[in-house]
Amino acid sequence: MPQTTIYVAPRLAGTLGTIPPAVATVELARLFGRSAALAGISLTVEMGRTVALLGPNGAGKTTLLRILATAIRPSYGLLSIDGIDALREPELVRGRVVYLSHATGHYDDLTAEENLRFAATMFGWGQHEGADVCREALETVGLSDVAAARAVTFSAGMRKRLALARVLIARPSLLLLDEPHAALDGEGMVLVDRLLGLWKEAGVTVMVASHQAERVAGMADATVRLEGGLLAEVTGAGVSAGPVGASQRPRVAVAGMDR
């Protein structure tokens, strides 16, 4: 098994030396037109926890992860990541959060290695150390042999592996994974499971959205279930919720939204 180094962002101390939560949201909502993808989520996640985010299609899992990643702004609500106000200082948050989305974000005309070296520069690695971390990451995800092949020639599973390699060379404090097992073969799924274990050991907070409830919930400290843009159920350690369920609906209904 290849050696895998896990890089982690330095921890931040909160006021009076307390440890701020990795994620704290208050009534987080996001509207797309007249439809509310998220209808008011209040959630606190302790640092270093692995959280399984479950729910049916359209429950709001991806929207929640994209807001936490600062890819989109919420329509209402408050959000802090590691104690940083993510709405006021998204650029600070981006140095601590890494998001693996459905879209892998690769450039088709660049090789796997070129894609990863580009990402390494963007994550702040220097030329030589960047080459080393990229080589190790490609080995970990099993793409060393095709490092010189263009991404356009890759299958969906290989693209996902390359995206995982990009996550490996980042230095996250909070890792947001949207369906990390999707498109992967059995070996790839085992790889994701192994990485989830390594990130947990290293103290990285991980939120995993998945339809593979059993697979993900087995290794998670807590499970958060979303339904219709609302928190439906929160179980396990290290995660606490605000008001759950129907009590949050009127806030959005007043605004004339669908949900």
Partner 1 sequence: MSDLRRGLAVALAIARKDAVAELRGRQAAGSTLFFAALVLLLFGFALGPDAQRLADAAPGLLWLAIVFGGLLTVARLHQLETDDGAFEQLALYPVDRRAIYAGKALAGGAAMLVLGALLVPVVAILYAIPIGAAWLPLLVAVVLGAIGFAAIGTAYAGLTVRMRAREVMLPLLMLPIVAPLLLAAVKATAAALSGDPLGELGSWLQLLVAFDVIMLVVGVGTYGFLLED
**Interacting residues toward partner 1 by CB under 8 A:** 69-73, 91, 94-95, 97, 99, 101-110, 114, 118-119, 121-124, 126, 150, 159
Q: Closest distance between partner 1 and the C-beta of residue 123, in Å?
A: 7
Q: CA angle, 231 as apex, 90 and 46 as ends, to 5°?
A: 55
Residue 93 or residue 231: which is nearer to partner 1 going by CB?
93
Q: Closest distance between partner 1 and the C-beta of residue 100, in Å?
A: 10
Q: Closest distance between partner 1 and the C-beta of residue 40, in Å?
A: 20
Residue 107 or residue 201: which is nearer to partner 1 going by CB?
107
Question: Residue 145, by phi and psi: left (phi above 0), alpha (psi -120 to 50) or beta?
Answer: alpha
Residue 81 or residue 231: which is nearer to partner 1 going by CB?
81
Helix, strand, or coil here: 139? helix
Residue 115 or residue 140: which is nearer to partner 1 going by CB?
115
Residue 34 or residue 102: which is nearer to partner 1 going by CB?
102
Q: Closest distance between partner 1 and the C-beta of residue 244, in Å?
A: 28
Q: Which residues contact residue 72 at a Cβ distance below 8 angstroms, ignoring those fewer than 6 apart? A: 30, 63, 66
Distance (Å, rounded) from C-alpha 109 to C-alpha 245?
A: 46
Cα separation values, 246 from 87, 94, 229, 231, 242, Å: 26, 33, 11, 9, 12
Residue 72 or residue 190: which is nearer to partner 1 going by CB?
72
Q: Closest distance between partner 1 and the C-beta of residue 76, in Å?
A: 16
DSSP conformation class of 20: P
Q: Which secondary structure element, helix H or strand E, spans residue 114, and what is its range?
A: helix 112-122
End-to-end CA distance of the chain: 48
Q: Closest distance between partner 1 and the C-beta of residue 74, in Å?
A: 11
67: its two tokens: 């807001």
Distance (Å, rounded) from C-alpha 199 to C-alpha 48?
A: 9
